Structures are given as C-alpha cells and as structure tokens.
C-alpha cells in the first residue's frame, strides 16, 4: 500500500496553488486535476504547472472516477459543504482551516467520514511547523518535563482581505491557536470559557453580529489537569502579525519571540537561552524537502498567507505528506475528522461563550475520543 500513487485534485488556486509542485514531486502522488471557478485563473495556473485536467465546477470534478482525493482551499463558508460532498462521492478529503463554521457542519463531516470510510484531514499548518515539531521533540524526549500550561496567540489584520472575512468573530478562525495546545498535550478539549474585549469599527459588526476586537478563551482539557489560554484578534488592533504558542514545563519552557524573525527563548530553570529552531525537512521524501523553506512562485508572487508568518513554518510539504501517507498506508491522518472537529468546535463555542459573558460551554460528545 505504501507504493500507491494517489490521484489528487486541488480545489481553489489562490493559497491552493502553493501545494501543486509538492504533489507533483511527491513519490506517492499524481497531481491529476485542478478546479477554479474563474476560467482565466484556472487556465493560467494549469498552463504554468502543466496540468491538463481542469474543472470550473466542483460537482463535475467529483464525478471523475480517476480522482482519488481532493484538497480544498476555498472560502471558509464553502469548506463543510465541499468536504461532505467529497466524502460522499468516495474521495479522500483534505481541507484548509477551519473545518466548518457551525457545530452542525462539523458533525456532518464527522458522520460523512465515518459512513464513507474515506480519510478526512484538516490541513492545520501550525502542528506541522518547524517550531511545533521542535517543541514536540523536546517534550517527547523528556527535556520539557511535565507540561504545566500552554498559551497561544494569533493576531492578524484582515482589512482588505475578501469580503467574507469582514467582521468575522475572532474565535471562528481559532484553529491556529487551539491546535498546538491540544496536539502537544495529546488531549481533547472538554469545555471552554471565553471573554470578548474591545470593539471593532461599526460597519463591520452587522455581518456576523460580533462586536469584539479581541477574544480570549481558556480551554479545559479532558482527562487532564491542563488548561490552555488562547487569544485572537482580526480587526482594529495594532500589532505586527503574530501566530505563536508558548509551553511551560517543569524542566524547560519555550516562548515564542515577541517580534517576527527574532529567536525564540527556552528557559531552563530560571535561565533564558535564545535558540535557533532547526528545519525538519529530513522527515520528508527528498523531492519535497525544499518546500519547507521555499514557496511556489518566489519573490512578490507569494500568496499573502505564505508571506505572513514566514511561510507557515515550513508546514506545507509535511501536511501533504501526512495526508498522502494516511491514504497509502490506510491509517488515520493527524488530525482526523473527529480531532479536527474538536479543535474547530472550541473556537465556535468560545465565541458563543463570549456572547454569553464567559459562560462555560462543553464540547459535544461526538467530538471526544
């Protein structure tokens, strides 16, 4: 099974185009097709990468018996619908974050995955970033000691992005802060309590009926004494882009730099040490190792989501490799549908908690292991 080549189709060619050369070079993949509603963009990308099979209609693509897997990179309100449709069409599904926008959408994907028997993976970049892999190695080798607390922040100015982002509740795009905390600790979220703070500009509020500039949540982990603190901002908050996590252990702690491109700090006892985080390309097949440090186009043509955060920490080839090998080896990807639902539901319930003044809200049973 490990030698199986998976015929992959990419849907959405903005951010999605970053993955085309990775699949083209991966020894277990065929970059079989692309899909984009705008025909001019579809043809421009198809010509640039030499991809013959092109679709402007996702439903037509799903009818193609040669396609084994779809990788969805569309606007967030389309993620759940397209994921469910892909699974029901007998395709393996990888989808960019977030998994969905409501608990009902998450449940529909979990059910569709179970019924279809196909793989579903939310393509969460942070848990395959070099920083996360570095800290996980510290934890797995015992250097961190016992984890005592985790904290993560994601601050990003979204003015000028496509209109569906305008006024989005901060915690509705929370997987980048939730995932490193839960993935490192190895526990599901059991319940969450969240407060909103400040106010965004008035013209942005009506779209989602959300006034908060910042939302801060505490996540209680199931079957654990651990709590994680996460914070998100999207509008009207002055801050350089920051997508970070801190981990406090009994032997060693890791803190993200305050300013992008500075070195992180590890504390051994009470002594701080600046460290350089090594790349983890050696864990990947040689043909795709270069993509931990290089994007697709080079120079100013990089997608904005790649430029911000230094290329998602080199995560893109790790994500593609994890998805492909889960299919080739017939095993669960990480994260699978249930884990993805638990992580995404934290943000959905956190915003609901903020609207209710910080009320404690429990994760649904179907999202728990």
What is the domain partition of the chain in residue ranges?
6-124+317-331, 126-281+345-367
CA distance 353 to 276: 38
Q: What mean pLDDT value characterizes the chain?
A: 94
| Residue 262 backbone class (left: φ over 0; alpha: ψ -120 to 50; beta: rest) | beta
The pLDDT score that the predictor gives to residue 4 is 73
Angle at 274 between CA 272 and CA 278, to 5 degrees: 135
Three-class secondary structure of residue 239 per DSSP: coil
Mean per-residue pLDDT for 12-18?
94
Tens digit of each residue's pLDDT (9 = 90 or more) over 332-361:
999 999 999 999 999 999 999 999 999 999
Query: What CATH homologous superfamily does 6-124+317-331 map to?
Result: NAD(P)-binding Rossmann-like Domain (3.40.50.720)
In this prediction, residues 80-95 reach a mean pLDDT of 98
Task: Tell me the average pLDDT across 319-332.
Answer: 97
Q: Where are the alpha helices (DSSP H) in 194-254?
A: 205-208
Please state whether the predicted TM-score (pTM) of the whole model is above 0.85.
yes
On whether the 126-281+345-367 domain is CATH 3.30.9.10, my answer is no
pLDDT of residue 298: 44
Query: Given this model, what pLDDT does residue 67 score?
Result: 98
User: CA neighbours within 13 Å on the CB side: how many for 192?
Assistant: 33
Q: Is the pLDDT of residue 310 over 70?
A: no
């Amino acid at each position: 099974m490990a030698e199986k080549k998976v015929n992959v189709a990419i849907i959405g060619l903005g951010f999605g185009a970053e993955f085309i050369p990775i699949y083209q070079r991966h020894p277990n993949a065929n970059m079989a097709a692309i899909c984009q509603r705008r025909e001019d963009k579809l043809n421009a990308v198809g010509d640039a990468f030499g991809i013959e099979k092109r679709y402007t209609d996702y439903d037509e693509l799903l009818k193609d018996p040669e396609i084994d897997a779809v990788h969805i990179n569309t606007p967030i309100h389309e993620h759940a619908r397209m994921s469910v449709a892909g699974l029901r069409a007998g395709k393996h599904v990888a989808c960019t974050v977030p998994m969905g926008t409501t608990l009902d959408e998450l449940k529909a994907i979990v059910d569709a995955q179970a019924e279809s028997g196909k793989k579903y993976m939310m393509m969460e970049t942070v848990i395959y970033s070099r920083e996360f892999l570095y800290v996980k190695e510290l934890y797995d080798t015992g250097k961190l000691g016992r984890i005592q607390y985790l904290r993560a922040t994601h601050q990003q100015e979204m003015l000028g992005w496509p209109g569906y982002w305008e006024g989005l509740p901060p915690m509705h795009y929370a997987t980048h802060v939730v995932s490193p905390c839960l993935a490192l600790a190895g526990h599901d979220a059991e319940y969450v309590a969240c407060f909103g703070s400040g106010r965004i500009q008035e013209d942005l509020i009506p779209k989602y009926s959300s006034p908060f500039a910042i939302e801060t949540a505490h996540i209680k982990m199931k079957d654990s004494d651990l709590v994680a603190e996460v914070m998100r901002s999207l509008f009207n908050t002055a801050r350089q882009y920051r997508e970070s996590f801190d981990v406090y252990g009994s032997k060693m702690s890791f803190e993200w730099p305050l300013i992008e491109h500075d070195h992180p700090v590890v504390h051994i006892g009470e002594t701080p040490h600046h460290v350089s985080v090594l790349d983890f390309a050696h864990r990947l097949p040689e043909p795709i190792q270069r993509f931990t440090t290089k994007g697709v186009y080079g120079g100013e043509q990089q997608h904005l989501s790649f430029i911000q955060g230094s290329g998602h920490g080199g995560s893109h080839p790790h994500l593609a490799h994890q998805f492909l090998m889960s299919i080739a080896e017939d095993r669960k990807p990480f994260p699978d549908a249930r884990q993805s639902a638990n992580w995404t539901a934290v943000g959905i319930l956190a915003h609901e908690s903020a609207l209710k003044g910080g009320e404690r809200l429990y994760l649904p049973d179907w999202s728990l292991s």
